Structure 1
């Protein structure tokens, strides 16, 4: 309708923060308070059957709130940020067109940025990539890195591993533009509000350890065994997920269950630290204490303050 383009746009709401901080619950409670629907922005929760190890919100915990982009992929498929951006923006448009609030929930920083920020993806060229991979295999990484330093010194200084150097050269070959020119700016694609959950790091460390033990008690090993039977190892993204990679080694006899639990706890804590660093770097986030008894009312207040007054 023509009049809708004149109406002020409601901001997309994003609930962000480290793993284990309570994002899923806040997302549901905000949706209930604001007549909203949730869009998943956790890259591993796209996968069907990866439920226990990703702490995927259960149907009961969703309290009747529709959730989008959950369980959309098989474990053999590879998640793509570009595909997510397209699907997520389509979901936002659909939710807003029905007069509801779109609430993005997840800790995958790049996926959140792809949904909210002006960020373009340069596409791929499988033939060119294969050529670069073969060159890397036969001559080593050094000549490719030297070429990248000449073409795109910013990316060369930033990228270390072969896969990313190859990707930067592929993008340059494909577009004629340096890979660094595609880096996201902190500029929203449409009005948005990010609510971050402020955590006590020591308490989070403890919570994450308990959470991993709880996942094992809930049947993580059996979940991994079932997914292994349908191709988990073939999935580049899914097979490397925290807990899943470790318990695949348990199934192979290469690691004890106790060692897998300890390794998963350490890796999960490291991941949470990286998430905190990522989100802390974004000055646009409104932070609220994860244990504040007024968490939901304060989050609703922040949303209302950021929303245009209805005429």
Structure 2
């Protein structure tokens, strides 16, 4: 029998964390973070990481397991989630995976097989030398030519992923996109997928308010401290919530400009998240409103009653 898993997805600021806590309390669940940035220690405010008080005693997994300069990947996430699901299930609890990192969630649900191609150190070194001599955009432009679909998924500043995608192409003659399209589509868990959505302007208002709250809580100080500790150039600092404030800290823009950029990037990210989940996964969607969100949460939990009773 496959292990049971509830997955809660949706755009940022829609209410996933609150629903997961309410569900875990009702069904004796434990929560697995499905956020690719909340694995990093001391990156709390900008990632909207849940506080100990907000957990209400519910165990959470895959938070604060890496330093900001350590690499983290969908493959590592997949392995960690499998381990967590087995552990939580063995103790008679229900694992609840919560987050907005689409590729990470998909990798877990469909037992995504990552490339077993061994790293070709010679090719990697050559590509990295090219970055040093010509800059990352030289490699990124080439990636857009040989694998345009993959290029759309990778930020140009993500040197590691750009190099890996080109390394696979040069070593095998095949693209990362081709590799992904050949993946199996069978779910490896008995899954209930719950998606939260909200009328766009309401969601955007919540996102803007969340950014204001982050600033009030000390986001600037958090970013400044990370930069002071030498993490400013790390890939983790390219996350939304951090990269927008570094120019302000370095005196390249005003606080107002940095905050507006952060709000704009957060809204755009929410739109991309929603589009990705709509296109990639078969999800039971629930539209929520701030005023009636608690009632909608009760409906969602009741809708899962049959699935949960079969445990």
2:42 equivalent in structure 1:
49
The CA deviation at 1:64 is 0.2
TM-score, structure 2 normalization: 0.85
1:269 match: secondary structure:
helix
User: Corresponding residue for 2:270?
Assistant: 272
1:165 Cα offset (Å) = 6.4
Partner of 1:159: helix, strand, or coil?
helix
For residues 49 and 61 of structure 2, what CA distance do their matches in structure 1 show?
13
Is 206-215 or 238-247 further displaced after alignment? 238-247
Q: How does 1:90-109 map to 2 (within 5 A)?
A: 90-109=83-102
The match for 1:179 among 153, 171, 176 is 176
Aligned equivalent of 1:213: 212
* 1:231 and 2:247 correspond: no
Q: Residues 143 and 106 of structure 1: is their aligned pair in 2 closer, same or farther, counting only changes over 3 Å?
A: closer
Q: Provide the residue aligned with 1:159 in structure 2.
A: 151
- 1:299 maps to which residue? 300
- SS of residue matched to 2:192: strand
Distance 1:22 1:239 in 2: 24
Q: Does residue 114 in structure 1 map to residue 104 in structure 2?
A: no
- d(CA) in 2 for partners of 1:205 and 1:224? 23
Look at both structures and tell me which one has the larger radius of gyration over its CA atoms. 1
Aligned residue for 1:254?
Answer: 252
Alpha-carbon distance in 2 for matches of 1:142, 1:47: 26
**Cα distance in 1, alignment partners of residues 163 and 220 from structure 2:** 36
> What TM-score do the two structures reach when normalised by structure 1?
0.85
Question: Structure 1 stretch 82-91 or stretch 175-184: which is displaced more?
Answer: 175-184
Residues 194 and 278 (structure 1 numbering): CA distance in 2 closer, same or farther, change over 3 Å? same
Q: Which residue of 2 aligns with 1:152?
A: none
For each residue in 1:205-229, what CA deviation from the matched residue of structure 2 results, as whole angstroms up to 9, or x when unmatched? Answer: 1111111111111111111122222
Residues 216-245 of structure 1: CA deviation (Å, up to 9, x unaligned) = 111111111222222221421x21122211
1:40 aligns with 2:33: yes
Number of equivalent positions = 296
Q: Contact 1:10 / 1:308 at 8 angstroms: preserved in 2?
A: no
Comparing 179-188 with 273-282, greater Cα deviation is found at 179-188
Stretches of structure 2 that go unaligned for 5 or more consecutive residues are none
